[in-house]
């Protein structure tokens, strides 16, 4: 149960950094910090798409996958509630005006792929020796792509959108494109990793 709680509260703080600041430097720094705080307990996924990639990589038990994702989304929900309390308004991601769903899908897929692939290499590759640097590398990866806009994390879209739904909001209508893009990116990252690092599976 401890690892699920770590995933929940780690994701909560990550989504809080995203919602309260929107600052890529703050977002990347937050991820780096919570990686060091929780990776030794849960693996430090804080992202259902990353969880999918790590499971497909073979580094997470099947019985844990849905629990990880549930508690990550729950963390996003808690973050949305805290944001609402502090800011007197609701937070949820939505495509910018004039941006089509295919473009949103492409952005989410491409950069979630990048983030998940970085996590797989840094956290699961035997030949990569980043024992004390993994948090910084992954944090910098998220910081870099956060400058480009996007969620790259299903918990960022689904958790706050579910909170918005309580108030009769319609943010949930945007969720499918975010989920499809991010999970596709995570899945493709795992497939690419298995091809490039095929020696790890012999």
Q: Indicate the pLDDT class of residue 132, thresholds 50, 70 and 90.
A: confident
Contacts of the segment 35-40: beta carbons below 8 A, 24+ positions apart: 35/134, 35/135, 35/138, 35/139, 36/135, 37/6, 37/10, 38/6, 38/7, 38/10, 39/123, 39/134, 39/135
Q: Are 158 and 171 in contact (CB under 8 A)?
A: no
Interatomic CA distance for residues 48 and 157, integer angstroms: 11
- Answer whether residue 37 shows pLDDT above 90: yes
Interatomic CA distance for residues 43 and 148, integer angstroms: 26
- Answer whether residue 48 shows pLDDT above 70: yes
Sign of CA dihedral 198, 152, 14, 42: negative
- Answer whether residue 154 shows pLDDT above 80: yes
Q: Quick one: tokens of 178?
A: 């975010």
Q: Quick one: tokens of 40?
A: 């030794």
Give the count of alpha carbons within 13 A of 73, CB side only. Answer: 16
Q: Are 84 and 158 in contact (CB under 8 A)?
A: no
Q: Quick one: tokens of 34?
A: 């919570």
49 CB-near residues (< 8 Å, 6+ apart): 112, 115, 116, 152, 153, 154, 182, 183, 185, 186
Structure confidence at residue 121 (pLDDT): 93
Q: Indicate the pLDDT class of residue 16, thresholds 50, 70 and 90.
A: very high
Domains of the chain: 2-201 (1.20.1080.10)
- Answer whether residue 171 shows pLDDT above 70: yes
Angle between helices 48-57 and 154-166 in degrees, nearest 10 = 140
Structure confidence at residue 202 (pLDDT): 59
Interatomic CA distance for residues 179 and 153, integer angstroms: 8
């Amino acid at each position: 149960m401890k690892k699920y709680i770590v995933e929940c509260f780690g994701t909560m703080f990550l989504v809080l950094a995203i919602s309260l600041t929107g600052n890529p430097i703050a977002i990347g720094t937050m991820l780096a910090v919570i990686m060091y705080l929780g990776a030794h307990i849960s693996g430090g996924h804080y992202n259902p798409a990353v969880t999918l990639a790590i499971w497909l990589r073979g580094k997470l038990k099947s019985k844990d996958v849905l629990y990880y994702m549930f508690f990550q989304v729950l963390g996003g929900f808690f973050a949305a509630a805290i944001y609402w309390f502090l800011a007197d308004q609701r937070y949820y991601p939505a495509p910018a005006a004039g941006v089509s769903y295919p473009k949103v899908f492409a952005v989410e897929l491409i950069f979630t792929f990048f983030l998940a692939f970085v996590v797989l290499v840094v956290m699961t590759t035997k030949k990569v020796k980043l024992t004390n640097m993994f948090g910084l590398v992954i944090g910098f990866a998220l910081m870099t792509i956060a400058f480009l806009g996007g969620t790259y994390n299903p918990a960022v879209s689904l958790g706050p959108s579910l909170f918005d739904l309580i108030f009769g909001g319609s943010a949930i209508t945007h969720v499918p494109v975010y989920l499809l893009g991010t999970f596709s990116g995570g899945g493709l990252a795992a497939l690419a990793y298995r091809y490039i690092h095929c020696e790890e599976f012999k």
